[in-house]
Structure 1
């Protein structure tokens, strides 16, 4: 069975109420015969936004695969009687600046796309609208993702999709090392087996390294995968302080620094360096940690590659990737914005977006095996299994209101640790001191 399709001859329905849209069983069917741009217009590339009375403004970043998927959401929403949607696409590195600028200049977007790790910061500032009537919708979503947009005060967005990391491997390099890749999460390499595997990889050319991990820039939080795998924590269980002298965190730092100390990863694969997927694409590394959303780009690399699961230690653990869609509390069109969020969160729309954009559904009633994945369905099936290893204790730590600033500290302090000469305990203390300074601010 495939994801539901548009049915020829369907007539445009009147706009549904927000209560009806938020019901988990709404299952709206889009009208047929509409082009991807119907009901859709393109805004500028940056800066503040303004929209006509009969249209919504959505600030987002979008890959080449995601943009048409967003365009289809906009077209289908308009076909159901909703307002036009003006999509303002900005580079990923500029999206928060674009949103913040629009908020400061009193020209806020109606909706914006935001990483789960940033939702709480905007919620704490009173920026986000609280979704009403969410009881049925909540039951349709997997708990870890619903918790990323929900706190004691309410629900402040919809968990649109998720993604996570796996280990991509150059097939030629795997063959040269006679590696057998684990094919189930239960068979995933232990840390010791992973270290043995990357040590056996033979370069495809003289300047090739074994592996790069995707902790660059805004991905510094992915280092916490290793911490969680080792049974450690960055934050205490009450989330109110840094977990000082945590043995799992020290073990994770030693393990990750050894990749640099042993020459298994290039120096520019540090936390502020070149993206791991870029190093894999240009064959500087034979293996890389990469999210499923990158598959469409990696497909153009011109070489064969496969995927296997993240290594495991005390725990199997995977990073919480993906994004929420949120409505702005002070938008003059808040009700229509909430309607759009509710529309995007329905099973049909979630399934179609995920299949087109190579990301993973957050709804429990969307069967990943039934989706028509556009890119590498064989690997997407593995990513679906990997996402089941996203653990709630790790999710709780990366969705605290101050996590954007914590992530910046992680990036800077990890960069110093990976390329510096401090002993591991001293390097870890600098990381925890930096994080604690954010909590104390």
Structure 2
């Protein structure tokens, strides 16, 4: 089944679903038999996820190999993303949750903070954390305790229409993260495009629609700012960095660099504008590559997100977690298998997603679709700092997302000043973290 770009981009998810997947019903968690070996032993795990066809094929492959090697079984239940967490929440409430489920990092904290997940700390080998990058491991911590494993990540780079950039005289595109455009240089590119393009076309679009509003935080991180204090219990966004990030991104609208329907609360996704050649550049994750490669009939490339005080980007992707009632030994055996080198490499290469293992991040993976762009996404992912990912995994992130959506929309569409915007953000974050 070929996936349309709308199916890839629906619901603002980090790694996004096909519109219809096999096995839409949920099954209550089975009671696993006691484990009889260090490999996990016999028993059954239930695992609920959404996914593209490629992602589900990757999961089925690793499950098949795990079952053959361990003697255990894993019942995979694939559902549409739109139904995923409504059903998970209902099952947790009813005591019928699956043993394992997939969860975006920005949603992870709300489950870990409510005692709904298995504390993996007592069950993992002492060196287990060493297989992951510090950034990825930080994203599955709650109060310095792991409640999941970082399965993969994704981050946004700039996809550009080659002909439109060349027509504007933009031929020097950065080829390393260190040479990424500064904010001023990006503004110069946008101004050149604005002067070259007709009124109905625009220089850029940013992928902050829906829950993708967390991607706006990349600008804050590039300014070397934070939205939460180090203890994750108080706001830190009312700062020079916060005001600079709001002011610069607000200029996208005041300078006519983005279309009117390119705001945070728009129902039109940034990549749809790029597919339609309404914009010359868009920010997008690697998950988009297979569909873009199969669909687009114009020449396009990718370059790194900008730098300011430092490089920075969004930490997307998903963790896999075990629920509190799962058999610890069996669940940990599967989570270990899922994140072994070959399992992760195979999954990421076919799905166009980024590994969380340190060895794979260093040696690289090669996407099946547009393999030459793998290096760009891996290089951008390396710009994400552990302290950035740790903030996004806050237990209060769902409430903070609402604050960001409301206040950025007020700034971008309503003309609210940067000072008032960061002050309102700080007040909203303070209320969210006090709950």
TM range (shorter): 0.7 to 0.9
Mapping for residues 20-419 of structure 1, pairs under 5 Å: 44-45=23-24, 49-51=28-30, 55-131=44-120, 132-152=123-143, 154-179=145-170, 180-201=172-193, 207-243=200-236, 245-273=238-266, 274-299=268-293, 300-331=295-326, 333-366=327-360, 369=363, 371-419=365-413
CA deviations 1:190-240 (Å, max 9, x no partner) are 100001101212677652221111111111111111111112221223322
Could you give the per-residue CA deviations for residues 140-177 of structure 1, whole angstroms, max 9, x where no partner exists? 21111112213456321111111111011011111111
Provide closer, same or farther for how the CA distance between residues 139 and 177 of structure 1 changes in structure 2, counting only shifts above 3 A: same
Where structure 2 has 5 or more consecutive residues not aligned to the other structure, the ranges are: 1-20, 33-42
* SS of alignment partner, residue 385 of structure 1: helix
CA deviation map 1:356-396 (0-9, x unaligned) = 11111111222665644211111111111111100123222
Q: Distance in 1 between matches of 2:155 and 2:380?
A: 7
3-state secondary structure, aligned to 2:282: strand
8 A contact 1:169–1:306 mirrored in 2:
yes
- The partner residue of 1:420 within 407, 414, 419 is 414
Question: In 1, distance between residues paired with 2:145 and 2:420?
Answer: 41
Q: CA deviation at 1:46?
A: 5.0
* C-alpha spacing 1:48/1:133, structure 2 compared with 1 (3 Å): closer
Greater displacement, 86-95 / 416-425: 86-95
Q: How far 1:105 sits from its partner (Å)? A: 2.1
* Counterpart contact for 1:59–1:89, Cα < 8 Å: yes
TM-score (norm 2): 0.86
2: CA distance between counterparts of 1:205 and 1:84? Answer: 58
Q: 1:205 to 1:336 in 2, by over 3 A?
A: farther
SS in 1 for 2:316: coil
Mapped to 2, the partners of 1:413 and 1:145 lie a distance apart of 28
Shift of 1:136: 2.2
- Secondary structure of the 1:366 match is helix
State the Cα RMSD in Å. 2.1
**CA distance in 1: counterparts of 2:414 and 2:79, whole angstroms:** 35
Contact 2:47–2:101 (CA<8 Å) still a contact in 1? yes
Work out whether residues 361 and 368 of structure 1, in 8 Å CA contact, stay in contact via their aligned partners in 2.
no
